[in-house]
């Protein structure tokens, strides 16, 4: 009997050792530091668009200032604004209704505008050129370069996303799965800058469990584009070279099981409440320094427990999670921020780690006079310092 028990214990230890070995790549969250930037009186950040970039002179953050409006270029070294790029709403350089930007180089900005037009601006806000986005077979009703679906740009070719429908309540599954998602423009070709559409579609079974949101976010990694649907565990890998779908990869959060099903037109706050009850995925960010991805998500909650209106909770969800995916999109770690720790959509990746905004208005220490980011690192990933 003693020999039998000893064998069981030995096998148990071997099993535990093997399990630990299989999970050795799991990464763990830790707070590395904080970035705090004081802002001047005529500054109001639009959290929908924040872009980190580097030059020979250091690290910078491009932030949309709603007052002006303007794009502020802030140095992360001395935490001061180094340039203020005006966005003109009248005159010869007017750009219409703006919806995000992309810093393409040290003297060029790609600006998304509505009616759907891509403007190329210099750092004085002057319009260098513009291209209308249209296609009789795939009508563009929305143009964006926000944190959700920023322009992807490789120096000559611009990739843009078309995630939305005019009326999701009337569209059927066939229409949803046959609409193209990605257009490209060759900005280096001065004689032909017409938008070309890639043969990339949503999965045919997109609504097999019922009609859901078709919104998505995306990121790129060299020769690939990764599409992250808000209401699908699968990620779609698109080849830039062929312009086609390579594969769908399951990347499920342990905190999300199902999604809100759309049943008819919304009435009052019910659709908002239904969204809060069910979780969904959010931004997808690539970390080129560690060659990983971060897939954010919102956890389903009981809104009545928080003492806030459904709309207040939708605008600033109390629980925000982040998954860490390796270069092959395998899930290697996950962390949940609770109690209004983060501000929705306001995250970026820098050389120092993952920066997440803590300027959630529902926090007791919220202060509109500062931009505040926690610098997050994950044990198991490599950092330069």
For the segment 124-136, the average pLDDT, to the nearest whole number, is 85
pLDDT score recorded for residue 17: 33
Planar angle of CA 276, 280, 286, nearest 5 degrees: 135
Tokens of 132: 């209308």
pLDDT score recorded for residue 141: 67
**Do residues 95 and 111 touch, judged by C-beta distance below 8 A?**
yes
- How does pLDDT run across 63-97, given as a tens digit for each residue? 999 998 999 999 999 999 999 999 999 999 999 89
- How does pLDDT run across 175-220, given as a tens digit for each residue? 888 888 998 988 887 777 778 889 999 988 889 989 999 899 999 9
Strands 45-55 and 216-221: unpaired
Long-range Cβ contact pairs of 206-212 (< 8 A, separation 24 or more): 206/173, 206/176, 206/177, 206/232, 207/173, 207/176, 209/258, 209/261, 210/261, 210/262, 210/263, 211/168, 211/173, 211/261, 211/262, 211/263, 212/259, 212/260, 212/261, 212/262
Tokens of 381: 């990933």
How many Å apart are CA 139 and CA 356, to the nearest integer? Answer: 35
User: Domain residues of the chain, as ranges?
Assistant: 45-132, 149-250
**Do residues 370 and 36 touch, judged by C-beta distance below 8 A?**
yes
Give yes or no for residue 229 having a pLDDT over 80. yes
pLDDT score recorded for residue 138: 63
User: Tell me, what DSSP letter sits at residue 381?
Assistant: B
Model confidence, pTM: 0.90
Q: Confidence band (pLDDT; 50, 70, 90) for 41?
A: confident
Architecture of domain 45-132: Beta Barrel (2.40)
**Do residues 374 and 358 touch, judged by C-beta distance below 8 A?**
yes
Q: What percent of the chain has pLDDT over 70?
A: 91
């Amino acid at each position: 009997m003693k020999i039998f028990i000893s064998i069981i214990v030995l096998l148990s230890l071997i099993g535990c050792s093997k399990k630990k070995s299989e999970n050795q790549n799991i990464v763990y969250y830790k707070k590395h530091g904080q970035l705090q930037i004081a802002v001047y009186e005529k500054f109001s950040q639009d959290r929908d668009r924040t872009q980190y970039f580097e030059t020979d002179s250091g690290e910078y953050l491009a932030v949309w200032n709603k007052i002006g409006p303007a794009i502020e270029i802030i140095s992360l070294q001395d935490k001061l604004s180094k340039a203020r790029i005006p966005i003109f709403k009248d005159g010869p350089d007017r750009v219409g209704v703006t919806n995000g930007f992309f810093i393409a180089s040290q003297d060029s900005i790609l600006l998304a505008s509505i009616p759907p037009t891509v403007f190329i601006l210099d750092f004085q806000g002057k319009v260098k050129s513009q291209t209308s986005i249209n296609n009789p077979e795939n009508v563009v009703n929305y143009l964006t370069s926000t944190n959700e679906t920023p322009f992807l740009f490789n120096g000559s070719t611009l990739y843009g996303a078309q995630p939305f429908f005019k009326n999701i309540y009337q569209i059927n599954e066939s229409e949803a799965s046959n609409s193209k998602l990605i257009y490209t423009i060759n900005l280096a070709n001065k004689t032909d800058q017409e938008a070309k559409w890639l043969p990339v579609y949503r999965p045919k079974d997109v609504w097999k469990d019922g009609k859901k949101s078709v919104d998505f976010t995306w990121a790129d990694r060299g020769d690939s584009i990764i599409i992250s649907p808000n209401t699908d565990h699968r990620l779609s890998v698109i080849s830039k070279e062929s312009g086609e779908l390579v594969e769908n990869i399951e990347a499920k959060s342990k905190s999300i099981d199902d999604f809100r099903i759309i049943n008819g037109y919304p009435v009052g706050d019910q659709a908002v409440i239904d969204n809060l009850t069910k979780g969904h995925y959010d931004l997808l960010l690539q970390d080129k320094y560690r060659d990983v991805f971060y897939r954010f998500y919102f956890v389903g909650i009981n809104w009545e427990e928080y003492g806030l209106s459904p709309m207040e909770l939708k605008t600033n969800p109390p629980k925000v999670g982040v998954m860490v995916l390796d270069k092959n999109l395998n899930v290697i770690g996950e962390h949940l921020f609770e109690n209004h720790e983060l501000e929705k959509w306001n995250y970026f990746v820098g050389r120092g780690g993952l920066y997440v905004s803590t300027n959630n208005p529902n926090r007791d220490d919220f202060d509109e006079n500062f931009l505040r980011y926690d610098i997050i690192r994950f044990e198991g990933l490599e950092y330069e310092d």
